[in-house]
Amino acid sequence: MKTQIRQHLHELQRVMESHQLWESTAPSPEALNNDQPFCIGTLCATQWLQWIFIPRMEALIDANAALPTQFSITPYLEEALKNKVYLSELCHPIRQIEIALNQ
């Protein structure tokens, strides 16, 4: 399953890059250390995916640690990005991760 999750994370990065959402410069440490869910108020949804979600998931996989269960971030993304043309394409690999983790 971890190999499958990693593949979906790579697909998510590819989608973000194809829509010019992948950033070359990290947000400030203060923005990244926000204790609010999804760093609301300091990061936009795509920044949270790039700088928090993807690295943390990869770190868990690399450490052979337990992955989260009962996992769902698609509703947040659907609301935060509801008017974006790339929403469906961006959510596809995330839904696949959710399916794998919720089995």
Residues 20-64 have pLDDT tens digits of: 999 999 999 989 988 877 888 889 999 999 999 999 999 999 999
Residue 42: both structure tokens together: 């300091």
Does 10 reside within a domain? yes
Distances (CA, A) of 94 to 11, 41, 54, 64: 9, 22, 10, 20
Does 33 reside within a domain? no
The lowest-confidence range among 4-8, 15-19, 71-75 is 71-75
Q: How many domains does the chain have?
A: 1
Does 65 reside within a domain? yes
Domain span at residue 66 reads: 2-20+43-101
Which pLDDT tens digit goes with each residue over 52-101?
A: 999 999 999 999 999 998 889 999 999 999 999 999 999 999 999 999 99
Does 83 reside within a domain? yes
Does 89 reside within a domain? yes
- Is the pTM value of this prediction over 0.85? yes
Does 86 reside within a domain? yes
Does 30 reside within a domain? no
Distance CA 73, CA 101 (A): 12
